[in-house]
Structure 1
Amino acid sequence: MTTVNVIDAPCGYGKTSWAIQYMNDMSEESHRFIYVTPFLDEVTRVKESVQPRIFYEPDSINGHTKLEDLHRLLGQGKDIATTHALFQMANADTKELIRSNNYTLILDEVMNVIEQVPLKKNDLDLLIEADVIDFDVNEKGLTYIKWNESKVNYDTEYNQIKQMALTNNLMYCDSSALIWNLPCDIFLMFNDVYILTYLFSGQFQRYYYDLHGVEYRYLSVSKGQNGYSLIPYHSRKIYEKKMLNEQVSIYEGRLNVIGDKRNALSTSWFEKSSNKDLVVTLRRNAQNFFANMCKANQSTALWTTVKGNKDNIMKKVKPKSFAKCFIPMTARATNLYKEKYHLAYLTNRFMNPIEKKFFEQYGVKVDEDAWALSELIQWVWRSRIRDGQPITIYIPSKRMRSLFQLYLTSDDFESPPKGAIVDEPPSDWHL
């Protein structure tokens, strides 16, 4: 059975450089690759960097969807570079084509592997009472939603739910919700799987693997005279935080008062009508930080917050003169902002409570603070800190600021999860 290789190392250790070197070094006769990344510009980067291999990007052409084009390329055994969004659409045909053509997966950053399905209050009750769906508990005790075969041809507003159920992508959460779940066995169809990330222990994909019983091997990257190599995690070079800590200036002062309460600046905090005046205060604080305390401009500033429905929250928070400096709080795996050094992180991250409960109901312990920190780190490392250059950052949430300060002054979040393999080389014997 495939053991997933998690290359867990800070930005700048050479994870992507190793991946490009690996794909360049391996024989085209022995290896076929699928490189999956969040952004199209990273797809282009891989296509241009890996030579003489030719990477193909699935496209919607001649009336075919991108997924159909992916299947065509898989069937031809082509090397493929694509996005998380397309990979999430994988179905039974995708899995069989991957297995039959002996592919290696390189996943640039973790992806959304579960997601709560939007439902109205009584939708689930209606589907159950109409005998449209049923429950199927597998050998691991996980509950899946099955669509009644006699009603497969029904055309209703629940067609999307039907499709997820028919492809075994739909799971049940605590008598109250449905969860889309990327079929975990897709990762077992590959010869080898490599995930390039950092702080994997706090991320959803880690909990997803724990839920489904998928083993993962922790690795790190080492650079030598002959290029990059993968090493067992317990042999890694320890991340030197002292120098990093000296490069990060965290604002401390009266502008932080707004974030003192544990839930301040969370999504629910922004959505409370009673906090509308505080949202105005937050906008003024951010403007003050950028304009007066940093003397920032549009070429140096970067900020984020909760977007809200139709971006309504983001629009209320955006500091005057810096609207174009916004990037989503989920941004990762892009170098487009590496010149920025005045940052404002105007949010307080908590997991979707239903998605958190989904894992916990099956006995998978979730560390919400580790997850929040990993999300913050991914965002901050879009800036020039990735190149070891100094930044100044405003984090008004006391909870998020404290987590970041703890990260900068300790190794508390660097330990691999219990059960992770930490003393083995990577699974591909060619390495």
Structure 2
Amino acid sequence: MNTNTVNVIDAPCGYGKTSWAIQYMNSMSEGSHQFVYVTPFLDEVQRVKESVTTRKFYEPETKKGETKLEDLHKLLGEGRDICTTHALFQMATSETIELLKANRYTLIMDEVLNVIEQIPLKKSDLALLLDANAVDIVTRENGLQYIQWNEQKIDYDTRYNSIKEVALTNNLMYCDNSALIWNFPCEVFSSFQDVFILTYLFKGQIQKSYYDLHGIKYRYLSVVKEEEHGYELIPYSLRKKHNKQDLIGKIEIYEGQLNDIGESISALSKSWFINPKKKDLIVKLKNNARNYLMNICKATGEDVIWTTIKGDKEKIKKQVAPRGYSKPFLAMTARATNDFRDRYILAYLVNRYLNPIQKKFFEQYDVKIDEKTWALSELIQWVWRSRIRDDKSIKIYIPSRRMRELFKSYLENDHFEEAPDNAIVDEPPSDWNL
């Protein structure tokens, strides 16, 4: 697949990624640039709309008789500058692609997107669809396998309508005889004039593996603040190294007997939590967390954030919730929110592993995922919701030995921040105006 090279601005929180993006959008003329800015949360949409003063950003809305996606397409057709959420951007269709190409937009994406999702499917469902000649498994020129719906059976109204709808978008992929995977249409990225992704530890992200899968190249950049010119993008090879010694002095990681529960490599993983034999250990984890928060840290609810796996109908979350501290829960997948930036007592009660189906999906095409960097990046994204993002001290309880050692290794050296071997690290950004 021929595509532009994506610009990945990979830098820690506080380096000025969002500030650069706002400066960039403010400084470019409306005649040369139209922007689509995509962010995880609605409150960030408002912040960008208020911060960019040289042009007007439009937010797609649900109107009478019109969906948000239809409004997005209307705004794209008019060449408007658009600020929207990941959730809406994920709905992109072939019509979205054509409208983007017609207006030569620049994409700025705050944090990575959920670019693949498993489609619910029982073990025999796919075999049933194949036997009924409703679908075919098609191998494309790039060697990737897709599920194609039989055009002669488009009008069939069955329990598999949801699968049919995804298959008809040509974005339903096949995973090793065990699952169907919705794949974000990669043509979206090549429909933009330039693409900038603002993130950290990109080499551990699913989106990086997705780019590898589809042959999309990526250029690594960093950001610096200059007195005269404000924020500037620089090749990653010239980046300013993160001051880990300063961080080490501000992060107090608990070391003590309360960590004994997380010694095994799988302790506090999803499989550990759902194992009926671990019921007593879950009670112990709950008590350990309360002991840490109440007795060791003397914390109030306003000081704390904690997380764990939610489970079906939040069953696991309720089982683990430390008594007296159930309210300051922050989902382990939280990103790009500033709502907890005053919190400084943290409890990370989970051991992150990739979804095995997602891992298998990439591995069947010999695309490797750096699972340790992925787990670490998930932890760091969560920790940096706290006041450490403002360079203030925090205390944290990480009972999983695996997660704790990953975090300590990150603080002690820079190897997690080394760019992937196939990344371009010595070039300026693709927009010549920069």
TM-score by length of 1: 0.99
Task: Give how far 1:216 is off.
Answer: 0.3
Structure 2 matches for 1:178-193, cutoff 5 A? Answer: 178-193=180-195
Query: 4+ runs of 1 displaced by more than 3 Å?
Result: none
* Distance in 2 between residues matched to 1:353 and 1:102, nearest whole Å: 38
Equivalent pairs counted in the alignment come to 431
Task: Give how far 1:83 is off.
Answer: 0.6
Secondary structure of 2:302 counterpart: coil
1:246 and 2:257 are equivalent in the alignment:
no
Task: Give how far 1:52 is off.
Answer: 2.7
Question: How big is each residue's C-alpha offset from its partner over 1:339-379, in whole Å with a ceiling of 9 and x where there is no partner?
Answer: 01000000000001010011111011112111100110110
Q: Which residue of 2 aligns with 1:213?
A: 215
Q: Which residue of 2 aligns with 1:428?
A: 431
Structure 2 matches for 1:301-340, cutoff 5 A? Answer: 301-340=304-343
Equivalent residues of 2:6, 2:216 under 8 A apart: yes
* Distance in 2 between residues matched to 1:321 and 1:80, nearest whole Å: 43
Letter in 2 for 1:62: K
* Distance in 1 between residues matched to 2:158 and 2:351, nearest whole Å: 38
Question: How big is each residue's C-alpha offset from its partner over 1:169-204, in whole Å with a ceiling of 9 and x where there is no partner?
Answer: 100011111011001111000000000000000110
* Distance in 2 between residues matched to 1:160 and 1:33, nearest whole Å: 32
Question: How big is each residue's C-alpha offset from its partner over 1:267-291, in whole Å with a ceiling of 9 and x where there is no partner?
Answer: 1111111111111111111111111
* Distance in 1 between residues matched to 2:36 and 2:19, nearest whole Å: 16
Question: How big is each residue's C-alpha offset from its partner over 1:179-232, in whole Å with a ceiling of 9 and x where there is no partner?
Answer: 110011110000000000000001100000000000000000010112100000
Task: Give how far 1:59 is off.
Answer: 1.1
* Distance in 2 between residues matched to 1:124 and 1:296, nearest whole Å: 52
* Distance in 2 between residues matched to 1:277 and 1:206, nearest whole Å: 39
Q: Which residue of 2 aligns with 1:118?
A: 120
Alpha-carbon RMSD across the aligned residues, in angstroms, is 0.8
Q: Which residue of 2 aligns with 1:285?
A: 288
Question: How big is each residue's C-alpha offset from its partner over 1:307-338, in whole Å with a ceiling of 9 and x where there is no partner?
Answer: 11111110111111211100110001111111
Structure 2 matches for 1:224-243, cutoff 5 A? Answer: 224-225=226-227, 226-243=229-246
Q: Which residue of 2 aligns with 1:355?
A: 358
Equivalent residues of 2:123, 2:178 under 8 A apart: no
* Distance in 2 between residues matched to 1:320 and 1:300, nearest whole Å: 15
Secondary structure of 1:365 counterpart: coil
Task: Give how far 1:53 is off.
Answer: 1.2
Question: How big is each residue's C-alpha offset from its partner over 1:379-407, in whole Å with a ceiling of 9 and x where there is no partner?
Answer: 00001111111100000000000000000
Structure 2 matches for 1:153-164, cutoff 5 A? Answer: 153-164=155-166
* Distance in 2 between residues matched to 1:168 and 1:374, nearest whole Å: 31
* Distance in 1 between residues matched to 2:126 and 2:274, nearest whole Å: 25
Task: Give how far 1:144 is off.
Answer: 0.6
Letter in 1 for 2:308: T
Secondary structure of 1:45 counterpart: helix
Q: Which residue of 2 aligns with 1:94?
A: 96
Secondary structure of 1:299 counterpart: helix
Letter in 2 for 1:328: A
Letter in 2 for 1:224: E
1:407 and 2:410 are equivalent in the alignment:
yes
Equivalent residues of 2:37, 2:107 under 8 A apart: yes
Structure 2 matches for 1:386-405, cutoff 5 A? Answer: 386-405=389-408
Secondary structure of 1:413 counterpart: helix
Task: Give how far 1:121 is off.
Answer: 2.4
Letter in 2 for 1:179: I
Percent identity, please: 65
* Distance in 1 between residues matched to 2:192 and 2:163, nearest whole Å: 28
* Distance in 1 between residues matched to 2:101 and 2:343, nearest whole Å: 43
TM-score by length of 2: 0.98
Letter in 1 for 2:24: Y
Letter in 2 for 1:75: G
Letter in 2 for 1:12: G
Letter in 1 for 2:197: I
1:130 and 2:132 are equivalent in the alignment:
yes
Secondary structure of 1:71 counterpart: helix
* Distance in 2 between residues matched to 1:20 and 1:336, nearest whole Å: 21
* Distance in 1 between residues matched to 2:159 and 2:80, nearest whole Å: 37
1:108 and 2:110 are equivalent in the alignment:
yes
* Distance in 1 between residues matched to 2:160 and 2:68, nearest whole Å: 23
Secondary structure of 2:249 counterpart: helix
Structure 1: gaps spanning 5 or more residues: none
Secondary structure of 1:136 counterpart: strand
Secondary structure of 1:393 counterpart: strand
Structure 2: gaps spanning 5 or more residues: none
Structure 2 matches for 1:76-91, cutoff 5 A? Answer: 76-91=78-93
